[in-house]
Amino acid sequence: MTIDYAGIGLKSGLEIHQQLDSHKLYCNCPFLLRQDDPDFTITRKLHAVAGEAGEVDVAAAHEAGLDKEFVYQGYDTTCLVELDEEPPHEINKMALKIALHISLLLNCKIVPLSQIMRKTVIDGSNTSGFQRTVLIARDGYVETSKGKVGIWFLYLEEDAARTVSEDKNRKTYRLDRLGGPMVEVVTAPDIKDAEHAKETALKIGEILRSASVKRGIGTIRQDINISIAGHPRAEIKGFQDPKIFVDVVNKEIERQIEEIKSGKELVPEVRGANDDGSTKFLRPLPGSARMYPETDLPLLKISKEMINEAKKTLPRLRSEVEPELRKEGLDDQFIDLLFKQGKVGLYRELYYLLPKGNFIAKMILLFPKEFATKKKMDVEEVEKILEDNYASVLNLLVKKKIKESHIKEILGRLVEGVGLEEAIKFESVDVADLEEEIHKIIKSKPGLNANAYMGLVMKDLKGKIGGKEAMEIIKKLMK
């Protein structure tokens, strides 16, 4: 059916949660998801806590009614802060800077002084029973094809613990994700229709990914609020992929129309998105009793200096950077990978040292995975080693201390733990000897083309000569 969105009085806005690429927000533990067995587990029970208004929140009461036992799995990469047995440390400055970048890119006004708040969470996903959240910026906007969509608020928040398993009496959480820095972007209800919801989510997603954020499945979570005239708001949670927004919005509108027709009592509620675009009831929508001040932490001050510093280091959007990269001759597939893997910044730094785009892209995009597979190591570990060494290796190349054809071998050695000085040592081979060897190869199989000889040479003289050099000699000898 065709929906007259304006006619039915659609009101819709987004809440987008994005994990930031930094350590935890109120302690120094890494924001690192663990797949191995936990080092310890603890068991707790939580109870609904009265908010500032003195009433138990309706959402909290609903969850507490389930009366569950919570089990938490901890690691050597979690500490007493995650267990709520030590007060929070000072807010993570790096995460704050990333949040400022995002605020500026969303054209928001930064809030100079802000109270860190506790938001009641009673499903056990926070050991303390609350999540810390702090307002960083407000009153911004994004441009879309259907006009500006307002950004009401930008919060810096702690991520929750993640669910490992659940049955009727017990829910098990892993603490690795708890306390990780995250921004929540809340838009105004300016979304005009289902397609517009998708466009807005993609636009905000692009802006978030231009900043220093986590990438991949589960690092961004989107909720959408939907109401039509005569129906209370429904919040639909748990989107990974903006593409299903179109179905979800349309199906939710149809559901609300049916509900109004049925004449039953209507309540605001939180619903979960199914893969087919339909939704299911999760819980009543939380009321205002949910927030109260965090007394263990001082007011957050964001100075003019901090804002200026954030402005100076402001990342740029893909739509701005992409044409420049293309102009520099970088292949499309590399451009795409650079953005997907979040390596545009690294690429830029290295390109500045050596303006050979495709060479640098190949080095930082393809080598790490190859080494990781070959040497049975973690890709992140390999990348960490390489990122500490790329600049030094390229500098040596620029100074002609090493050959381009040796770069991969050198990087491979560094990954294995060989020191830089040792890694750049190669047997020096006399050019005359190499020519002699290549001459023999050509003579042994007459009549082949240059590329065929190239294959033979690279096989026989592996490690002794680079491809470019070999080709020059082959061409010379074939004349």
Q: How many CB atoms lie within 10 A of CB 276?
A: 10
Nearer to Zn ion, 29 or 386 (CB): 29
Q: How many CB atoms lie within 10 A of CB 456?
A: 17
Residues in the chain: 479
CA distance 234 to 342: 34
Q: Does 201 bind Zn ion (CB under 5 A)?
A: no
CA distance 222 to 236: 9
> Least distance from C-beta 126 to Zn ion, angstroms?
13
- Residue written as token pair 């890709």: 379
Q: Please answer whether residues 48 and 65 qualify as being in contact, where contact means their C-beta atoms are separated by less than 8 angstroms.
A: no
> Least distance from C-beta 129 to Zn ion, angstroms?
17
Q: Please answer whether residues 181 and 159 qualify as being in contact, where contact means their C-beta atoms are separated by less than 8 angstroms.
A: yes
Nearer to Zn ion, 176 or 199 (CB): 176
Nearer to Zn ion, 76 or 436 (CB): 76
- Here's the x/- map for Zn ion, 286-325, by CB under 5 A: it reads as ----------------------------------------
> Least distance from C-beta 27 to Zn ion, angstroms?
3
Dihedral pair phi/psi, residue 202, rounded to 5°: -65, -40
Q: Choose the binding region for Zn ion from 82-90, 295-303, 385-393, 404-412 (rule: CB under 5 A).
A: 82-90
> Least distance from C-beta 96 to Zn ion, angstroms?
17
Q: Please answer whether residues 181 and 22 qualify as being in contact, where contact means their C-beta atoms are separated by less than 8 angstroms.
A: yes
By three-state DSSP, how is residue 342 classified?
coil
347-372 in b/e form (b: 16+ CB < 10 A) is: beebbebbebbeebbbbbbebbeebb
The DSSP result for 87-125, as a single string, is: ---S--HHHHHHHHHHHHHTTPEEPSEE--EEEE--SSS
Q: Does 79 bind Zn ion (CB under 5 A)?
A: yes
Q: Does 29 bind Zn ion (CB under 5 A)?
A: yes
Structure tokens at 472: 């020059």
Q: Does 178 bind Zn ion (CB under 5 A)?
A: no
- Here's the x/- map for Zn ion, 419-438, by CB under 5 A: it reads as --------------------
> Least distance from C-beta 30 to Zn ion, angstroms?
9
> Least distance from C-beta 72 to Zn ion, angstroms?
13
Nearer to Zn ion, 31 or 371 (CB): 31
Q: Choose the binding region for Zn ion from 40-48, 76-84, 224-232, 375-383 (rule: CB under 5 A).
A: 76-84
Nearer to Zn ion, 85 or 276 (CB): 85
Nearer to Zn ion, 79 or 194 (CB): 79
Q: Does 236 bind Zn ion (CB under 5 A)?
A: no
Strand-pair partners of 255: none
CA distance 202 to 246: 12
Nearer to Zn ion, 82 or 199 (CB): 82
Q: Choose the binding region for Zn ion from 3-11, 81-89, 114-122, 436-444 (rule: CB under 5 A).
A: 81-89
By three-state DSSP, how is residue 470 classified?
helix
> Least distance from C-beta 95 to Zn ion, angstroms?
14
Which of 428, 427, 394 lies closest to 411, judged by CA? 394
Nearer to Zn ion, 89 or 138 (CB): 89
Q: Does 361 bind Zn ion (CB under 5 A)?
A: no
**Residues touching Zn ion, count (CB under 5 A):** 5
- Here's the x/- map for Zn ion, 9-28, by CB under 5 A: it reads as ------------------x-
Nearer to Zn ion, 57 or 82 (CB): 82
Q: Does 81 bind Zn ion (CB under 5 A)?
A: yes
> Least distance from C-beta 219 to Zn ion, angstroms?
20
Nearer to Zn ion, 85 or 143 (CB): 85
> Least distance from C-beta 26 to Zn ion, angstroms?
8
Integer-rounded Cα Rg, in Å, for the chain is 28
Q: Please answer whether residues 318 and 306 qualify as being in contact, where contact means their C-beta atoms are separated by less than 8 angstroms.
A: no
Nearer to Zn ion, 74 or 140 (CB): 74
Please report, as a single letter, which amino acid is at residue 452. A
Q: Choose the binding region for Zn ion from 55-63, 71-79, 110-118, 326-334 (rule: CB under 5 A).
A: 71-79
Q: Choose the binding region for Zn ion from 75-83, 233-241, 258-266, 272-280 (rule: CB under 5 A).
A: 75-83
Which residues 6+ apart lie within 8 Å of 195 measured at CB?
246
The three-point CA angle 111-82-130 to 5° equals 55
> Least distance from C-beta 191 to Zn ion, angstroms?
37
> Least distance from C-beta 33 to Zn ion, angstroms?
14
Nearer to Zn ion, 82 or 235 (CB): 82
> Least distance from C-beta 41 to Zn ion, angstroms?
16
Structure tokens at 367: 């080598």
Structure tokens at 314: 């402001």
Q: Please answer whether residues 18 and 213 qualify as being in contact, where contact means their C-beta atoms are separated by less than 8 angstroms.
A: yes
CA distance 462 to 406: 11
Nearer to Zn ion, 175 or 234 (CB): 175
Farthest CA pair distance, the chain = 93
> Least distance from C-beta 79 to Zn ion, angstroms?
3
- Residues at the site binding Zn ion, with contacts judged by CB under 5 A: 27, 29, 79, 81-82
